[in-house]
Chains A and B, each alone.
Chain A
Amino acid sequence: MHPFHKRLLKEFKSLNKNPLPSIKILSNNENLTNFDFEIEITNGLYDDKLYKLVVVITKEYPVSPPKAKFVVGTREAGESGSTGTSENPIDVSSDTMQSSYKIPIHPHIYSNGHICLNLLGDDWTPACTIESILISLQSMINNNTDMTRPPDDNRYIKYAGEFASKDGFVYHDDSV
């Protein structure tokens, strides 16, 4: 059990009770330390609308931020975001084809899914929540106009570990 289980439980309940628009929990473990979220974005520049985000709660949470990254993977058809409630489950259209999650193109998101976001590093305080991360990531992509990877993408993904580490990051320009 996580030492701050009560806090995690409260956050979890709140996420279920008042779900964020276009964000849903795909799965989570019993201890509430591993979450898979599906984030739907409305930015017209993106062909794919649905992205999968993994959030891992560290032992130091909430003093330290959780770890978060986008991941690739297969997506079950008809299981699209909160908007697409399938009216006819027997409908055999292109929807039943298995499609996949990709890593969103963004100047602060590396092609391995690592995210360069101040909130996941220096700007985090214990008053922030999983929800604050989800909201700021969603708006970060929705407001993006620059469909490029970070300038150091190639170099970064060569040496990156499983998750982005706070120490190694130089935060890119915040205005993007």
Chain B
Amino acid sequence: MSEEGSIDYDFDEDEASDFSFESDYDDQNDNMIDTPIESPKDKTDISKLAKFKKWTTKEFINENFINAAVKLQNLQLPQCNLEDLLIMLHQLKWQSEEVINNYYDNYDKLMNDCGIPKVKNNVIKEKLEYSCPICCEEYDNIKTFQLSCGHEYCINCYHSYLKTQLTNGQLIRCIDTSCNLTIPHLLTQEIFDLFSQDVRDPAQDFFEVPTANSKYAHNMLLSSAARSYINSKKSKYKWCPAPDCENLVELVDNYALHLDNDDDDFDEYLSDEESTLLDPSTNNVKDKSKSPSVDRPIDISLTPIVSCGTDHQFCYNCQYENHLPCPCNIVRSWIKKCKDDSETANWIEANTHNCPKCLNSIEKNGGCNHMTCRTCNYEFCWICFKEWSIHGSQFFKCNNFDKSEKDAIELNQKQKRVSLQRYLHYYKRFAVHESSMKGDMKALDKINQRMESFMSEQSKQNLSNLSWTDVQFLKDAFKALTNGRKTLKWSYCFGFYMKELIFAEVFEQTQEHLNRVVEDLSKIVEEINDKKNNDRSTELIMKNKKALISLTNAVTKGQQSLIQCAESGLKEERLKFDLSI
């Protein structure tokens, strides 16, 4: 059964949003990625776009935490200082409206919940002959810290306490169990900085105009708060899945605002059905009741491929690398299939058996059922696994097994073998491109390094003024190669689920073409990187400049045409998937 269909965003537009720290996104259009998404009301109106905004973690904190506090101070709550406002926002999950409401409706309770005392007296001080009640060390000379409550502990104890408290992203309170006072954000950082190895350049601080954003620039508590805040809004924010990347992408438009209202419900829905929301390949659940049997063609151009601030492309829906030409549901099915060891189990079941005595695996080649284990010489019957001698010295006659049962098993094994071979055919190619991509990346990294040192060497000796703009073609080649591989890789997943229609041949030819140009480009990269050519690598790069540039173009074009081929094939239903494979 196939599961084609189109998206249908059935969001309730009447639901009010309380998107609390919206900024003027129109001013930041350079950060926006537009992906066409069908409008919920008018399905023919493609002009309505789903918008995504790129964030670095730092930008996110500045905009949504610090600027939110600054805004409150400038507008609604000028009587409060920035530190207290940050604490209030933090306590109330960064909702400015809530802060204003609680401030005016229930001031005492708010202050109490936030652990903000009427009179503040937070001190880090140098103490002589101090005995700390936590570590019980007797110090001749030690820094101590206390909040306005006067619960005083040595700075070492406070530091390790802060470190463990950082993990949950919440406000940090006084160590004393019965005390609710909060340690302000700046003070937590001040304590961390006392223990930090890297000393900040005082000159830099001198020239820096101390703004709110710079004061909180490296605040670890705010970073941890951002992490837990973003993780709690999974439908609205997605971390870039690239390793070591700390960027995120936000879904910003009306849809997102509606989602924000019942985030919890949505996340539950996500985990149930996995995320079908932005998935062009599946029908929206709510819509299924209206038109349960209508199979609409898949439109992979609606796949929400976004890229983070450092240009890592990924699918917002799957939070997985750019998997075009595959639609999201095919990707999910494939990943599940690959994870499933039942495939391996099938393989073993179809081709081998274990000796019932010594358990070494035996592969059956011919048709004779009288087996002799090569390891232990045990003779047994391939069909019933019992000792051969009980079958009598006669010509083969297994009474332990029904003939029809035997046939069924043989047929079953045959089918398993065929389906497994098919899977292995595609999986091997998928896996090869995945590992080649890693190989390419390593090679590219090396070339990059060599190029850099070569250029700095050249400029030192005033030999030439080669700059990175002159070797932009190299960077383009790197990018084309990795992206081309990625598309190729996923085209084999596509192929596995593809029904055998006539147009499939066209897809395979396009795939083959991309395969060829990717391998050609990869070969040049490999050659440049070959140890034998160690001293000539930069020379080789410049010599191959023309070939590199033309292959880069060929790969990019080939990648685009493969995706386009899949896109139009699916749209016109000349390509179809069979998920029952």
Chain A residue with Cβ nearest B138: A6
Q: Using a CB-CB cutoff of 8 Å, which residues 153-206 of chain B contact chain A?
A: 153, 157, 160-161, 163-164, 168, 175-177
Separation in Å of the A94 CB from the closest CB of chain B? 43
Chain B 539-565 per-residue mask, 1 if CB under 8 angstroms from chain A, else 0: 000000000000000000000000000
* Across-interface contacts of A9 in B (CB, < 8 A): 136
B164 touches A7 (CB 8 A): no
In the bound complex, do residue A126 and residue B136 qualify as a contact, i.e. CB atoms below 8 Å apart? Answer: no
- Closest A-B pairs by Cβ, 8 of them: A7-B136, A6-B136, A63-B160, A10-B136, A126-B134, A127-B175, A127-B176, A125-B175
Is the C-beta of A62 less than 8 angstroms from some C-beta in chain B? Answer: yes
A123 touches B177 (CB 8 A): yes
Q: List 5 A-B contacts (CB under 8 A).
A: A123-B177, A126-B134, A127-B176, A128-B177, A132-B177
Cross-chain contact B164 with A63 (CB below 8 angstroms): yes
Q: Which residues 449-464 of B sit at the A interface, judged by CB distance below 8 A?
A: none
Residues of B with C-beta under 8 A to A64: 164
Docked-complex contact A4 and B135, CB < 8 angstroms: yes
Instruction: Please name the residue on chain A nearest to B162 by beta carbon.
Output: A63
Residue of B with least CB distance to A132: B177
Is B137 in the interface zone, CB < 8 Å from A?
yes
Q: Count contacts on A: residues with CB < 8 A to the other chain.
A: 16
CA A127 – CA B135 in complex, angstroms? 10
Q: Mark A48-69, 1 if CB is under 8 A from B, else 0.
A: 0000000000001011100000
Given A63-B161, A63-B164, A127 and B177 contact (CB-CB distance below 8 Å):
yes
Query: Which chain B residues lie closer than 8 Å to A122 at the CB level?
Result: 168
Say yes or no: A4 contacts B177, CB within 8 Å.
no
List B116-137 residues whose CB lies under 8 Å from chain A: 133-137
Please classify the interface of chain A as helix (H, G, I), strand (E, B), loop, or mixed, using the class held by over half of its residues: loop
Q: Verify B161–A4 contact, CB threshold 8 A.
A: no
Query: Quick check: B137 and A126 within 8 Å, CB to CB?
Result: no
* CA–CA, A127 and B154, complex, Å: 12
Give which listed residue, B133, B137, B164, contacts A127 with CB less than 8 A. Answer: B133
What's the Cα separation between A132 and B176 when bound, in Å? 13
Residues of B within 8 A of A63 (CB): 157, 160-161, 163-164
Q: Which of A6, A128, A132 contacts B137 (CB under 8 A)?
A: A6
Contact of A7 among B134, B160, B168, B176 (CB under 8 A): B134
Report the minimum CB–CB distance from B372 to chain A (whole Å): 44
Binary contact track A135-157/B, C-beta < 8 Å → 1, others 0: 00000000000000000000000
List A contacts of B133 (CB < 8 A).
127
Beyond A123-B177, A126-B175, A127-B175, whether A7 also contacts B135 by CB under 8 A is yes
B177 to chain A, nearest CB (A): 5
Q: Which residues of B contact A4 (CB under 8 A)?
A: 135-136
Contacts of A123 in B (CB 8 A): 177
What residues of chain A lie closer than 8 Å to B137, measured between beta carbons?
6
Contact with B along A100-139 (1 / 0, CB 8 A): 0000000000000000000000110111100010000000
What residue of chain B has the Cβ atom nearest to residue A7's Cβ? B136
How distant is B166 from chain A, measured CB to nearest CB, in Å?
Answer: 12
Which residues of A (1-30) have their CB < 8 Å from a CB of B? Answer: 4, 6-7, 9-10
B135 near A125 with CB under 8 A, answer no
CA–CA, A6 and B136, complex, Å:
6
A62 to B153: give the CA distance in the assembly, Å: 13
- Contacts A4-B136, A132-B177 known; 13 new A-B pairs at CB < 8 A: A6-B137, A7-B134, A7-B135, A10-B136, A63-B157, A122-B168, A123-B177, A125-B175, A126-B160, A127-B133, A127-B151, A127-B153, A127-B176
Task: Name B168's closest neighbour in chain A (CB-CB).
Answer: A122
The contact of B176 among A6, A60, A62, A125, by CB within 8 Å, is: A125
Most buried by A among B137, B153, B177: B177
Within 8 A of B (CB), among A142-176: none
Q: Please name all residues of chain B whose beta carbon is closer than 8 Å to the beta carbon of A10 when the two chains form the complex.
A: 136
B177 & A125 in contact (Cβ 8 Å cutoff): yes
Query: In the complex, what's the smallest C-beta–C-beta distance from A22 to chain B, in angstroms?
Result: 23
**Once the chains are docked, how many angstroms separate the CA of A62 from the CA of B176?**
13
Smallest CB gap from A122: residue in B: B168
**A62 with B134: CB separation less than 8 A:** yes
Q: Give the nearest-CB partner of B137 in chain A.
A: A6
Question: Contact mask B314-336 → A, CB, 8 Å, 1/0?
Answer: 00000000000000000000000
Instruction: Report the separation of the CA atoms of residues A45 and B411 in the bound assembly, to the nearest whole angstrom.
Output: 65
Q: Please measure, in the bound complex, the distance between the C-alpha atom of A128 and the C-alpha atom of B153, giving whole angstroms.
A: 13
Find residues 286-334 in chain B having any chain A CB closer than 8 Å to their own CB: none
